[in-house]
Amino acid sequence: MAIRCANCGREFDVTLFEYGNTVQCVCGNKVTFGHEEISEEISKDILFARQAEDEKIRELTRQADKIAFLIVGTDYHLIDIEIEKQKFRERIRELFPDKEYLYDLIFQPRFKRLVEQFRGEGENR
């Protein structure tokens, strides 16, 4: 994020303003950036949003753990596990539409590794 000098429009990186620093612009103007206190209402909204996101993450963690358990600790058929994995992927898409790629990045390799390690690669159950 950039902060502009009110006099000449020159931009400064916001990180220069940590701890209430003031920057002297080449035009001679002093540029400051006031760190506003977050109002109680805004902080409650932020807290609520974080709690809602944390609950979504906990739900996905439980579902991923369930699939891992089905692979490792049961004789559940692999086709049925594939169905559970697809449901999991769809739930990720519902809860975090812009983060669906994380399934392929994190969970798919994890599940594949567990199947190879505990079920044997070519085993069909």
Residue-wise pLDDT for 16-42, tens only, equals 666 667 788 889 988 877 655 445 666
Contact between 5 and 25 under an 8 Å Cβ cutoff? The reply is yes
Q: Are residues 101 and 47 in the same domain?
A: yes
Query: Which CA distances in Å does 112 have to 44, 82, 88, 116?
Result: 41, 11, 15, 6
Which carries the bigger pLDDT value, residue 73 or residue 14? Answer: 73
- Tell whether 26 is covered by a domain: yes
**Shared-domain flag, residues 23 and 44:** no
pLDDT interval class at 121 (50, 70, 90): low
Q: What is the pLDDT of residue 22?
A: 79
Residue 46: which pLDDT band, with cuts at 50, 70 and 90? confident
Mean pLDDT (whole number) for 3-20: 77
Here the tokens at position 15 are 């990180």
Are 54 and 107 within one domain?
Answer: yes
Distance in angstroms (rounded) separating the CA atoms of residues 14 and 25? 14
Tokens of 108: 């798919």
Q: How would you label 89-105 residue by residue, b for 16+ Cβ within 10 Å and e otherwise?
A: eeebeeebeeeeeebee
- pLDDT band at residue 125, thresholds of 50, 70 and 90? very low
Please state which of the ranges 20-29, 77-86, 97-106 shows the lowest mean pLDDT: 20-29
Residue 8 has pLDDT above 60, yes or no: yes
Range of the domain at 6: 2-32
Q: Does residue 24 sit in the same domain as residue 81? A: no
> Reduced to 3 states, what is the DSSP secondary structure of residue 101?
helix
Query: Is 123 among the domain residues?
Result: no
- Do residues 24 and 53 both lie within one domain? no
- How many separate domains does the chain show? 2
Q: Which residues contact 72 (CB under 8 A, 6 or more apart)?
A: 114, 118
In a domain? residue 124: no
Summary mean pLDDT of the chain: 85
Structure tokens at 18: 């940590």
Identify whether 125 is part of a domain: no
The pLDDT, as a whole number, for residue 120 is 84
| Residues 77, 25: Cα–Cα separation, whole Å | 68
The answer, yes or no, to whether residue 45 has pLDDT greater than 60, is yes
Q: Quick one: 45 and 76 in the same domain?
A: yes
Q: State the burial class of residue 3 (Cβ atoms within 10 Å of its Cβ: 0-12, 13-18, 19+).
A: middle
